[in-house]
Every structure is written in structure tokens, then in C-alpha cells.
Amino acid sequence: MLKKTFKWVGIVLACIFSLLIVAYAYIYLSTEARFNKKYSFREDPVTLSTDTAVLTRGAHLVAIKACDDCHGPDLAGKVFIDDPLLGRIVSSNLTSGKGGRPSDYGVVDWLKALRHAVNKEGKPLLFMPSHEIVQLSKADIVAILSYLQTIPPVDSDLPTHDIRFLGRILTHFDKVPLLPVDMIDHNMGWPKEVEENVSAAFGKYLVAVCTGCHRENLKGGGPIAPGLPPVADITATGRVGQMTEEQFMNTLRTGVTPEGRSLNPKEMPWPTTSKYTDTELKAIYAYLKSI
């Protein structure tokens, strides 16, 4: 009797195991197809500038949009996620050095990467947050690209991506922003220019980079990836509602909350938010207080 029970338990387990293997094989193939799909998006070229004010603005945007955070301080790319279960994600070398942008990498190629999340060949860029960058005005994109023409070439020898078991499962269920190409309205055109002053409108324009973690409505939620803490609600009814403008600015500049708690820069990227100007932080505060 006992022997028979064991036999049946064994058969059931074997069936479940086989089903899991088939399910994973399906997920593997379908994510592989999404990673290798080819797109053709149209972009008209923009005219770059060598004006000092534009280049200074570009350098500031590269700092506050965290390009250097992911692409490395010299923008020569780096392995920025390497997890045994999730996989390895590698950012590109944005300089003209070896392993970087080829000599025929034109303005339209830059625009396809920044506004559509595809590379020169039209294949999806993994984890590159173009769904946030596409919300930048034409003037800001021109400033970024103009500045990037002036950075010194740095040679790099980077490995390729390697998306593993958990990374594929989370991608399949759209739990990680691995395929920004699928998160963009590719026909949206250029966003409206927003005047740079202490206003909720300018704040709203700036917080696109916060939504990746704090969610579209900025009300926070569960951890963005396994092993990270939950993300705070930063609206008027959440954390920011309890802060004065000065406390808010201080938190984003020093990573220390009004209660004296130190935020981990790997979880809440305050070294990047510390680079915002007073006007920018005050505008973000005004906007967050309005929701």
C-alpha cells in the first residue's frame, strides 16, 4: 500500500516537473524572440550645437538623468547588473573609443536609442530607460547629444548581456523594465517645451525619471527588483506631504531623511538627485505637493 502511494507521488511530481520545464522552455523562446525582434522607427535628424550654454545644459542633463550612473562616470559602459538568477546586463560605451559608438553612428541612431529603445540595427536595447527619456523636449535631447559629441573617447572591452532564469520569467510577466521598446508610444512625437521655473508644471516634466521606481502615480509600491526595499509614496498624502520644502531638498541632496535615517544610494539614488539645481528641486517639490 505504502509502496503504491510512493509510486503515485513520484508520478505526480514527475508530471509537475515536466510541466514546469515545458513552461520555462516556452518563456525562454518567447523572451528570446522579443529580444531579437527587429523594429524600424523613423526619426528626423536634429541639428546639434557647439554653444557653451547648450553644452553645459547637456552635461547637467547627463548627470540628473543618471546616464553616468548606468553608463559609468566616463560613459564608457559597464556591467551594472550581474546576478546569478536575474542575469548580466551591460550598458553601452557612449564614447567614440574602441567598443563604443562607431564612426557612422549618426544623430538618427542616437535618437532611435534615446526615443525608441532600439540600436542602430533596430533591435531592442535592454533596460535602457528610453520610456523616460522620450519625455524630454527636443531642446533637452539636442543639449544631451551635443554634449555627448564632446566627451573624450574611452576604449572598452565589455561582455554581452546574459539574461538568466529569473530575469526571463520576470520579463515574461512584465515585472521588470527589461524591454522599454514595449513601454513607449512610438508615435507620440516631441513633448511640449516646458518653461524652467519653480512651478508644478516644470516639476511634472522633471519627475519622469522618478516614475521608474516610484510608479507612474508616484504613490510608490513594492520593491522594483528582488532584494530591494519597498518604494516610498512621494505624493502629498505620502512622505513628501510630511516634509517642508527645505527638508525635501535636504533629503534629496544628502540622502538623510528629516528623521535622520540614511537612505542607501543603491536603493534611492540620492547622489544623482543631489545634482539638481535649487529651481529643479523646488519645482519637483511643488509638483509632488500638488498630487
Binding residues vs ligand HEC (CB under 6 A): 62, 65-67, 69-71, 89, 91-92, 94, 110, 113-114, 119-120, 125-129, 133, 144, 161, 207, 209-210, 212-214, 224, 229, 231-232, 234, 239-240, 251, 257, 263, 267-269, 273, 284
Min dist CB 268 to ligand HEC, Å, is 3
CA 58 to chain CA centroid, Å, is 18
- Of 23 and 174, the one with the shorter C-beta distance to ligand HEC is 174
Dist CA 118 CA 271 (whole Å):
28
| DSSP per-residue codes, 173-212 | TT-S---GGGGS-TT--PPPP---SSSHHHHHHHTHHHHH
Query: C-beta of 160: minimal distance to ligand HEC in Å?
Result: 9
Q: Classify each residue of 70-99 as buried b or exposed e, where b means 16 or more C-beta atoms within 10 Å of its C-beta.
A: bbbebbbbbeeeeeeebbbbbbbbbbbbee
Report, in Å, the least distance between residue 32 CB and ligand HEC.
14
Minimum CB separation of residue 173 from ligand HEC in Å reads 20
The strand ranges marked E within 18-112 are 79-83, 87-90
Q: Which CB, 169 or 272, lies closer to ligand HEC? A: 272
Residue 273 DSSP symbol: H
Nearer to ligand HEC, 3 or 266 (CB): 266
CB neighbourhood size of 122 (10 A): 14
Between 18 and 30, whose beta carbon lies closer to ligand HEC? Answer: 30
Q: Which is nearer to ligand HEC, 69 or 165 (CB)?
A: 69
Long-range contacts of 76-82 (CB under 8 A, 24+ apart): 76/100, 76/154, 76/155, 76/156, 77/156, 77/158, 78/158, 79/158, 79/159, 81/127
- Which C-beta is closer to ligand HEC: that of 7 or that of 246? 246
**Residue 5 or 40: which CB sits closer to ligand HEC?**
40
Give the relative orientation of helices 278-289 and 245-254 as an angle to the nearest 10 degrees: 120
In degrees, rounded to 5, the angle at the alpha carbon of residue 73 between the alpha carbons of residues 183 and 95 is: 75
Separation between Cα atoms, residue 49 and residue 149, nearest integer Å: 10
